[in-house]
Structure 1
Amino acid sequence: MALVISWPAVVALRAVSSGFLVLGLVLTIFRLTYRVWLRRFWVEDAWAGIAFLCGIAALTSCWTYVDGAGEEVIISFWVYSFAFPSVVWAVRQSILFSIVRIVYETQHLRHMILGLAGLFLGLWAGLVAQKAWQYGHDTTWYHTATTGKVHAFMTRPMVAFELMSDCLSDTILVALPLRLLWSLKLPKRQKRMIFAIFSSSIIVTIISIFRGICQIAKYTTVLPTATDFETSLSLLVCNLLVVVTFLYRIFGFVGADDEVSSDGDDYTTRTTAREVFTTVDLDDPGSSEATSRESQGCNPKGEKTLDTV
């Protein structure tokens, strides 16, 4: 049974989803401005900037598709088809490199991050190449229309590849930081905050699965809205770590946690095997301050230490 929604309702839904996309773009502007102001602009922020530019292209092409006609609609469809996955995958790269900010920048971690970044780039390129071939080698869809708009559907193998890529990448982005953060000595409030931020990628995965179902079932009226929501939620998730840690400090939660310094923007504390307390700045990858204390391998509370500097 086909799912049919009137065109005015589709436009209204796209207006709502576009509102979330605008919010994501605004948060990205705040994030980039804040990081430049702190002089801590890094790789993850560069990827957020790429996601921002692709988000602008997606938002613009979305509404030129809705309001346009003829060749303008075809061009808008092409632009949106590539801008949308570019936003999602650029956000995933940004989240991946964000992990380095909350753990020590060891050689093993760096190699693992670079390997996963290469994997993500490969999946991204594979999806874009499939779309370019599918939409370009057979242009008969230029003359088809649903609710007065041309549209081309991805094949089932393409949808399966996209869903597999989405689930694999989002699982990595949830499991990796949770595994790395599990052994960190953090106050409970701070640990819950970081866990919740990285786990939010699950929401994007759910939307991605729903969008894949719409692709297979050819729910043309629902598919664009699902795609818009995935794009906007990806941008929101991308900026959560920076924005939430900023608010975490502004509202004084840092001072409420034991053993957490409030001297900087937001800090986590790790204990080393030689009783070296290292303060790692969440806003500065790879930077740390350490103070040593004589110890026999245990901290003042008698707890086992976590790692060695």
Structure 2
Amino acid sequence: MSTMEAQFEELRVLSLVLPLFAIVVTLFRLAIRAWRRQLWWDDFWAMAAVLCLILFMTAMQLHFRDGSSYSLTTRIALYYMLSEFFYAVNWCSKISIFLTTIRLTVRGPYRTLLVRLACCFGVAWAILFAQVFWVCETQPGWKDTPQPQCNLGRNVAIAQVITDVATDVILIAAPLKLIWRVKVTRPQRIRITMVFGSTIIATIVSLYHAYAILRFGGFEEARAAVIQDGVSLIVADVSVIVAFFARISSVGESHGPVAVELVRVKPSSKSPDSFAVNVDTDTTISRDYSHPDGSDLDKMPSLGSSSPNGKVSALPEADGDGEPFGKV
């Protein structure tokens, strides 16, 4: 077996194993949400990423094999499928991650800002999608090769680096407000930070893909694309799966739901008492309770059994459509 054939065989194996693992993880995440009746738009985009990844895998398997039985048009179409479905998986995963953050945020100006930023994600995806065509269609010769592959070059790599780094910084920074505004225990804070900080891994992989475009192209570029898509989709599922297993672990250790501190804000003549409760990485609950005299805590609606140290042990779930409870 020649070196080229060995590389193609390695790529075919990689393009099956890693994407299949990412698909299984995503289906498990969707099963969790469906079982808990909490499917929402972040799950829709995760499922869209799975469908695009299946098409990406198919195009990869067909493109990197003997193409003598395909027409020239088919080989060119397979390359464009590889390029565009790579973007589709990557950006569907990013949008899913960001919508998970929006899901955790109560209605108000900050949530509105996040929704607008999510629209910017779609604009960035559209620009990169179009860039492949206007770069490749201006290059002569590549369509006549046995395995057509356009040289995307420096401009595409720079555009990918800028958009990936900018959006990943937003994905990492956006949930920090949730951590600062809500009183949580130290293990819970570490868990939330770890979950959303996993986006850094996706950023590193995207930088590797951009480097492969600039320096190598061909096989190395295709391998980096497979790794980036697989890792991006897995990162999109981390928040749901970690929360699921953390809840199971907490129930197993305490034989009951995780205790969450109840925070009392000093009342004033113009503002009522405010209580903020954080459940897990699926829902953030914020409710206001008004007491004219600022002292009658016994009138507060019961959220579950309380302990002498002022903690609540039973918490409500999100409503059916996945929207957070409460108001700003």
- TM-score tier, shorter chain, comes to 0.7 to 0.9
**1:164 positional shift:** 0.3
**1:128 positional shift:** 0.3
Q: Aligned pair 1:253/2:245, yes or no?
A: no
**1:31 positional shift:** 1.7
**1:107 positional shift:** 1.5
**1:246 positional shift:** 1.2
C-alpha contact (below 8 Å) 1:270/1:279 kept by paired residues: no
- Of residues 173-182 and 274-283 in structure 1, the stretch that sits farther from structure 2 once superposed is 274-283
Amino acid at match of 2:88: S
RMSD: 3.1
Q: Gapped runs of 5+ residues in structure 1?
A: 303-307
Tell me what 2:50 maps to: 52
CA distance in 2, matches of 1:141, 1:270: 64
Q: Gapped runs of 5+ residues in structure 2?
A: 266-272, 298-307, 311-326
**1:42 positional shift:** 0.8
- Of residues 288-297 and 181-190 in structure 1, the stretch that sits farther from structure 2 once superposed is 288-297
TM-score, length-normalised on structure 1?
Answer: 0.81
**Structure-to-structure mapping, 1:265-304, within 5 angstroms:** 271-273=263-265, 274=273, 276=275, 278-280=277-279, 282-284=281-283
C-alpha contact (below 8 Å) 1:255/1:262 kept by paired residues: no
CA distance in 2, matches of 1:68, 1:96: 40
CA distance in 1, matches of 2:152, 2:261: 47
C-alpha contact (below 8 Å) 1:204/1:230 kept by paired residues: yes
**1:76 positional shift:** 1.8
Tell me what 2:93 maps to: 91
Amino acid at match of 1:278: V
**Structure-to-structure mapping, 1:1-309, within 5 angstroms:** 6-69=4-67, 70-71=70-71, 72-103=74-105, 105-138=106-139, 140-145=141-146, 149-250=147-248, 252-253=249-250, 256=253, 262=257, 271-273=263-265, 274=273, 276=275, 278-280=277-279, 282-284=281-283
**1:167 positional shift:** 0.5
Tell me what 1:305 maps to: none
Closer/same/farther in 2, CA of residues 296 and 41 from structure 1, 3 Å limit: same
TM-score, length-normalised on structure 2?
Answer: 0.77
**1:14 positional shift:** 4.3
**1:26 positional shift:** 1.0
CA distance in 2, matches of 1:167, 1:268: 34
C-alpha contact (below 8 Å) 1:163/1:209 kept by paired residues: yes
Percentage identity across paired residues of the two chains: 28
- Counting matched residue pairs gives 287
After superposing on structure 2, the runs of 4+ consecutive aligned residues of structure 1 that deviate more than 6 Å are 288-294
CA distance in 1, matches of 2:124, 2:130: 10
**CA deviation string 1:44-92 (max 9, x = no partner):** 1111111111111111111111235143432221111111111111111
User: Which structure is larger by alpha-carbon Rg, 1 or 2?
Assistant: 2
C-alpha contact (below 8 Å) 1:279/1:289 kept by paired residues: no
Q: SS where residue 271 of structure 1 aligns?
A: coil
**1:204 positional shift:** 1.3
**1:37 positional shift:** 2.6
